[in-house]
Chain A
Amino acid sequence: MKTTVQVHGLTKRYLAITALDEVSLELAAGRVYLLVGPNGAGKTTLLRVLAGLARPTSGSVSIYGRPFSSLERPAQVVGACLDPIRLPAFRSGRQHLACLATAARLPLRRAEEVLDLVGLPAQVAARRAGTYSLGTRQRLTLAAALLGDPQVIVLDEPTAGLDVHGVAWLRRQLRDWAGAGRTILVASHSLTELAAMADRLLVLDRGRLVRQADRAELDPGADLQTALFELLTAQEGKQR
């Protein structure tokens, strides 16, 4: 399998707080990675560094061998869905995507295609964003991530605010995208919703990557939520 993302010795500090501590990992094409860990483990920070929004204190991240900021057509390489955007009240979802499509040098019709893909009806996309629910904003953020039809898809808590249909759609999409050779990295607390879709689990705790395991290596009958809780408790015991 081709390696698409390489993270090497990544450390990120905010003053006295170490958000990421010497994290190294590789992601391959055609696989879904589920990044889990307690609040404050560094999941979101890792995704932000990967997407070039936060600068590492030390270490490096490369995507197809290059930092995100030096990619020629970044939107066609990495699509990131981080926190749902808080759009200005008067801008519609369609206008928002048109802004981003323009910035990414993509045709405006691509906005219509991704709206269709994430299941946002035309009349909803035309409405002022001030009227959107959290789920609608989440779908719009997902649509923005997919504008460039990227090879690497990075999602932070993508099920937040999604209804059951949305979650089911996302689960199908994760497998479809991976099946088409894309690399998917999902950070989520919703183990029960997404673990079955993942090929590999990455466990972060206090900024350190404490465990990596293929889904197949885990006990198929195991309750993942309990297993993760036990792993993190054992880790905490070790550190004491």
Chain B
Amino acid sequence: MFIDFFFMMRRKGVPVSIKEWMSFIEALYEGHFQSSLNHLYHIGRAFLVKSEAYYDAYDLAFQEFFGGIATADVELDKVLGWLENPLNRLPKMSPEEIMEFQRQMEEFKRTHDLEELMRQFRERLKEQKERHDGGSKWVGTGGKSPFGAYGYHPGGIRVGGESWMQSASKVATERRFRNYRNDIILDVRQTKMALKKLRELKREGTEEELDIEETIDKTAKEGGEIELVFSKSRENSVRIILLMDTGGSMLPYTELCEKLFSAATQANHFKEFRHFFFHNCIYQDLYEDMANYKNVPTEKLFSLFNKNYKLILVGDARMAYSELFEVNGCIDYFSTNDKPGLDWLTRIRDHFPHSVWLNPTHKNFWGHYTVDTIGKIFPMYELTIDGLKDAIKALTSKTKNLLHQ
């Protein structure tokens, strides 16, 4: 029964592993938790969700599984209207009253389960037609009914309002972590982090690690006179070439591409980082500047850089049929090309076995003939953090890209 929550989370996109789930359930059965939904929410999150990026998805799953208010078939706005501007705020309570209150709270927890409470709540809502302040049955403010806001029913359901007695168990509905979802945001810092995964360690650079074996050998040879031998420490040997589309259809994604670009230039852990620009598709020339004035023959790419360079292309891959498939198909009026763009792209792919194409448009929009064709030449990924991670995985894998045959 409870296992459904596990599957609910997976469906909502929280990457919960079996190990995490098992340790959560174990702890649950060992009786370390308080029997409160609020507690379960926080502890469950600590056990099962390991990044704030998934907090929102967890909220959604929790809300759905443990019966959130939003899923109930009620007019929420109307109910919230009843709860606005409470007439009587919570009165001051004496210590005795607070004791009594806490006793009732325990009592309530024992006798009511949430399922039952939710059922009553939905029923009460169906019957209720108007606003209530005070009183002990209807959904309203300041009363003693288990439902509503600003009231003092121990352990009831709070509908809107602020937490007054800290006993409402529906924090999940607030979805405060919506902004942390990582399929939405891609900022420089995150991109840098993703790019940091792009590395191959080799022994290069200055000699600073003590090589014990060598030191002992050398010392023995010197007849006991200590001779310290240092070896080079490991350094990243990845060299990157970034080719970016600056075509008109890329305009909406300028900011996104700028972020990737600045992250890549700032990431100082690459052995070498080079970048060029192109307009819609690649022909005999690439450009060193975004305005496409300073041209560099594409042939140079092949003579200057060997196959160990990793190539990242960024573009929407969307263009007119002729731009990709025909001679002189180039979109710029004054440019001509004696080989179609497709030939150039294939040559580039053949020269650089480690290459990927990042597409800033959403996967759903990739059903376009030039996008399809280019996607068959270069493995194509979305320009999101997740897409970037997959792309980098593909770049660093020892095997060549599968599309390569």
- A and B associate: no
